[in-house]
A = this chain, B = another copy of it.
């Protein structure tokens, strides 16, 4: 199952400078502590080069210009990236279709590629289209009229509600719900909440990955959209009619309220919340736990709640513990000033 490559092949794969025995066979990439003596490891921070000696690995991917005694090295500009490429290279396997389990339940008029693996206890609705090299793990439920592109992976107990469209190579982790109703109600005169029907859908473009137990709500009307290359962590909330631009990152337990748009490469830190009907332009970064109440211009970096410029926020946070002293100082100053004024008056 596991493939091996020569040291030279790996170096060429990432356009790196190889120092060591080019013919050496490497059997995998692993963590520094976990690696065996036929595996390659990586160091992203030059300051940690000395840790390499603790590893059994035979080779190491390092930042350009690093010197490592006793190990073969591949020097690259970006070891983060190079190690990911090499690791994926080792792990990529040809898709082997296992077909549709007899213990799965498939609806009517579906168009399902012959190159799929659909596990037991899977339930697929009617008029569902499933591309090739798709893996649907046990316990997944897919509603009517869903479209799954090629190479999609749905992990156990995922729910994809009716009308959702998933592009190629989309990965959804366990327990995540795609296409649940948006949260929309109108109050009648008695103050009762009347449900607003949620008749839109969810579109997820190519190469999106969504973690476990997250939620992406269907649009009230139209589409909730997650664009190419977006990566979403666990327990994240994406509300109705949100539009998330290409290559955005949403870290665990963050939430995006209804109708908010994110540009490209926006980074939402863990536990951060973005209010509804806002626009965060390209490259905006929101610090973990930030709460954003206003639209943000291109490249803005914000933190805090309500969020503002992250550097200013950091300064205010650093000052916050001194606030009680500020109040005491103020009182003392006022007294001193009063006593000076009194002296002045006495003199006059």
Contacts of A341 in B (CB 8 A): 336, 340
Do residues B34 and A222 form an inter-chain contact, with CB atoms below 8 A? yes
Scoring A residues 264 to 290 as 1 if CB is less than 8 Å from chain B, else 0, what string do you get?
010000110101000000000000110
Do residues B157 and A157 form an inter-chain contact, with CB atoms below 8 A? yes
- A73 part of interface (Cβ distance < 8 Å): no
- Tell me how many residues of A have a C-beta within 8 Å of chain B: 114
Q: How far is the CA of A209 from the CA of B193 in the complex (A)?
A: 10
Q: Which of A156, A187, A316, A343 has the most CB of B within 10 A?
A: A156
Contacts of A196 in B (CB 8 A): 83-84, 87
Do residues A234 and B217 form an inter-chain contact, with CB atoms below 8 A? yes
Do residues A31 and B213 form an inter-chain contact, with CB atoms below 8 A? no
Chain B's closest residue to A173 (CB) is B180
Distance in Å from the Cβ of A323 to the closest Cβ of chain B? 4
- A221 part of interface (Cβ distance < 8 Å): yes
Chain B's closest residue to A101 (CB) is B105
- A296 part of interface (Cβ distance < 8 Å): no
> Given A192-B229, A196-B84, A306-B317, A120–B119 Cβ distance below 8 Å?
no
Do residues B337 and A327 form an inter-chain contact, with CB atoms below 8 A? no
- A237 part of interface (Cβ distance < 8 Å): yes
Q: How far is the CA of A196 from the CA of B90 in the complex (A)?
A: 12
- A149 part of interface (Cβ distance < 8 Å): no
CB within 8 Å of B: which of A99-115? 101, 103, 105
Distance in Å from the Cβ of A158 to the closest Cβ of chain B? 8
- A13 part of interface (Cβ distance < 8 Å): no
> Given A139-B139, A343-B344, A231–B83 Cβ distance below 8 Å?
no
A334 touches which of B103, B316, B329 (Cβ 8 Å): B329
Cβ contacts A to B, 20 pairs, < 8 Å: A31-B200, A31-B221, A81-B189, A81-B194, A88-B197, A121-B139, A123-B139, A138-B141, A141-B156, A141-B157, A159-B175, A173-B177, A174-B180, A183-B234, A213-B214, A234-B237, A273-B288, A308-B321, A329-B334, A340-B344
- Residue ranges of A at the interface with B (Cβ–Cβ < 8 Å): 30-31, 33-34, 78, 80-81, 83-85, 87-88, 91, 101, 103, 105, 119-121, 123, 137-139, 141, 143, 155-157, 159, 161, 173-177, 180-181, 183, 185-189, 191-197, 199-200, 207, 209, 211-215, 217, 220-222, 229, 231, 233-235, 237, 239, 247, 249, 251-253, 255, 257, 265, 270-271, 273, 275, 288-289, 291, 304-306, 308-309, 312-313, 315-324, 326-327, 329-330, 333-334, 336-337, 340-341, 343-344
Kindly list the 3 A-B residue pairs having the minimum CB-CB distance in the complex, ordered from nearest.
A31-B221, A141-B156, A123-B138
